[in-house]
Amino acid sequence: MANRNTEASTLSDSTTGFSTAPANVAARATDLRALLRHHQYQYYVLDAPEISDAAFDSLFRELQALEAAHPALRTADSPTLRVGGVVADKFEKVEHPAPMLSLANAFGSEDLYAWRERLKRFLPAERHGELSYVVEPKFDGLTVVLRYDHGDFVLGATRGDGQFGEKITDNLRTVRRLPLVIPAGGATTSMHAPLQLIVRGEAYVDKADFEAFNARQSEAGERLYANPRNFAAGSLRQLDSAISAQRPVKLWIYQALVLETEDNAPETHSAMLAYLAQLGLPVCPNLRHFGDDDFDALAAYLAEYGALRATLPYEVDGAVIKVDSLELQELLGFTGKDPRWALAYKYAGEEAVTRLNAIVVNIGRTGVATPNAVLEPVAVGGVIVKAATLHNEDYVRDLDVRVGDQVVIKRAGEVIPKVLRALPELRNGSEAPWQMPSVCPICGEPLVRPPDEAATYCVNSACPEQLVRKVEYFVGRGAMDIEGFGIKQAEAFVELGYIKSLADIYNLPWEKIAALEGYKEKRLDNLRAGIEAGKQRPVARLLTALGIRFVGETVAELLMQHFSSLQALMDAPQEEFSAIHGIGPRIAESVHEFFLLEPNRALVHQLAAYGVRTAEARAPVGAQPLAGKTFVVTGTLPTLSREEAQALIKANGGKVAGSVSKATAYVVLGENAGSKLDKARELGIPTISEEELRALVA
């Protein structure tokens, strides 16, 4: 960081020998706070100091002395409070004004252009010409939320789970770049403070500061941090804010969540960032703006940015592309947990060399035995990697990877570690070739590799590890979607013997579960309600949840459009599956063989006995009132879930599409319909209610 390079002698001289008469003390303290805020802003935000460090320290000590002698003069925004000193027992939870959502990822230009096309599908055609984009770094630090009331910093929190974060206001006060009052800069600005401002930003530590800190820690024999991101997060999650004050944490602000102002609010994201910068908040200058006509240039810039990011003084793990217009952002809305109007562009993961200490075999839900590398821990892209996938027996053989080898690993998509190659030139003769074991490491039953496949399987359907993974898959999204039921419940309930088959999910010993640690009444009620609600999922979801090889959501939908129930599907010959458009011979054989096994048929019957839906209501044979018509379902319907409405349409011969087009016959409309309603109006597509849909079926 630059030194304060200009000696303002008249200013520093004026800090000595002033009158301390009571009438002058309060005014002098006010002047000192304004001067210090101004020079902190010049130094930490603009990197353009106007006075020397000695002059600044003189002003700072003078204010400290005044506040010590007259405690009533100390204000909540005093620069002297940045030294910390507040020790907390724990962090209080605070709710964010809006969910702190994550971003969908893109890993190349193909994903980028596909995102652009999705934007245009969700926007009216006449608004396409308004599209433009802002590209900014995707900072790799700790996400924080800051709140200012009438210009005063009053609350700071971590992102947490996206809905609730940890209150770290006192620790954030120690971050020199964070202005305690806005507009920052003392008397240098004529802007008015907003009535309320809530912003989102990233706390981070420069690479050089991180290395210097770790070097000092190493010399002192103290804890070392793995990467700047962990260091920033750890620094701001100290219960003693005096420790936070000693850490070189910085801040970038990149989004306004709430703005209440008497002035005209900015209408674009780029204008909003400029406004925040004018208020004195630290906004990264490394931003680029592109029109929709320049999208090719945007893609080229992102391709080059992968190399440029290494030259930045701080860590970034990609770039973020946002639609610039705030009005278009609102129109585009959200899909699940992701805003449609923003995208995270990521780059190929970094590589590293480490030792392969062992190869272990993991068993998945379908019985697939997957070899995994146990590695000497190594930092890759800022994360310590200890294990990586080796996919299958052929992959290990083709790479000629041996236990004890030095290997090159990579975080594919910067997430999943993968062994790329061995380094045979570094072998010393102690390395040992690996072979797939002949028996399952979990249950001891034989492992079998079909002659035409690369995968090896544990053939024991009662294998405990398979059962845990099967339960996890059964209750997950895309399958039965049981809220409150995840891998931890699957592992615990299988280990305790409460689940011995998938049907036991609907016959759990609730009195025993209530005695387990962490299962208080509310959590127990939510879990029971989630399981009960899961009974009424469309039958295609149940078919998906059974985990039949090659049968995912799409295949399950195709099969259940043809069959009225799982019983009818179980009784059908293999040839009938093959006759369905979109069902190939491998799928037909897999489904047929699955239901030839009596335990699988018994499972379906047991699920039905527990009240799980295994049949769909169908119109009488020959009566297909919706045949030849395509429907789009949008919004929240009065009594039917979206999936149930879609199942009703399909059961009566209709087709369901995800977006409105000229081929759409009707849009089934619920509350909060969003952009699909606008598209229907634009194309003149008729809209109907749930009641009118039922009338069409009847």
| Cα–Cα dist 184/2, whole Å | 20
Q: 3-class SS at 42?
A: helix
In this structure, how many other beta carbons lie within 10 angstroms of the beta carbon of residue 148? 23
Cβ density class 176-206: b for 16+ within 10 Å, e for less: bbbbbbbbbbbeeeeeebbebbbbbbbbbbb
Beta strands 288-291 and 132-139, pairing class: antiparallel
144 neighbors 173 (Cβ within 8 angstroms) = no
Kind plus residue range of the DSSP H or E element containing 389: strand 383-389
Give the torsion sign (CA, 619, 620, 623, 627): positive
Q: What is the DSSP code string of 411-479?
A: EETTTEEEEEEE-GGG--S--B-----SB-TTT-PBEE--TT-S-EEE--TT-HHHHHHHHHHHHSTTT
Q: Alpha-carbon distance 472 to 468, whole Å? A: 6
Question: Tokens 């068993």 sit at which residue?
Answer: 363
CA–CA distance, 136 with 269 (Å, rounded to integer): 11
From the list 391, 392, 395, 425, the residue with the least C-alpha distance to 407 is 425
The active-site residue, picked from 138, 250, 418, 679, is: 138
- Return all residues near 419 (Cβ < 8 A) that are at least 6 apart: 356, 373, 388, 389, 390, 399, 401, 407, 408, 409
Bridge partners (DSSP) listed for residue 356: 375
H/E stretch holding 407 reads strand 406-412
Contact assessment for residue 123 and residue 332, using Cβ atoms and an 8 Å cutoff? yes
CA 498/CA 471 separation, integer angstroms: 12
Structure tokens at 492: 């615990």
Q: How many CB atoms lie within 10 A of CB 663?
A: 11
End-to-end CA distance of the chain: 74
Helix (H) or strand (E) holding 308: helix 295-308
Taking a C-beta distance cutoff of 8 angstroms, is the pair 182, 196 a contact? no
Looking up tokens 């199942």 gives: 647
Burial 454-465 (b: 16+ CB within 10 A, else e): ebbbbebeebeb
Rounded (10°) angle between helices 207-220 and 228-236:
80
Q: Which residues make Cβ contacts (< 8 Å) with residue 18, sequence separation at least 6?
A: 24, 28
| Residue 550 and residue 590 in contact, taking contact as beta carbons nearer than 8 Å | yes
Closest CA to 200 of 97, 275, 103: 97
Please tell me the distance from the alpha carbon of residue 418 to that of residue 411, in angstroms, as a whole number: 6
- Whole-number Cα distances in Å, 191 to 151, 187, 261, 264: 11, 10, 11, 12
Residue 138: active-site member: yes
Q: Which amino acids are annotated catalytic?
A: 138
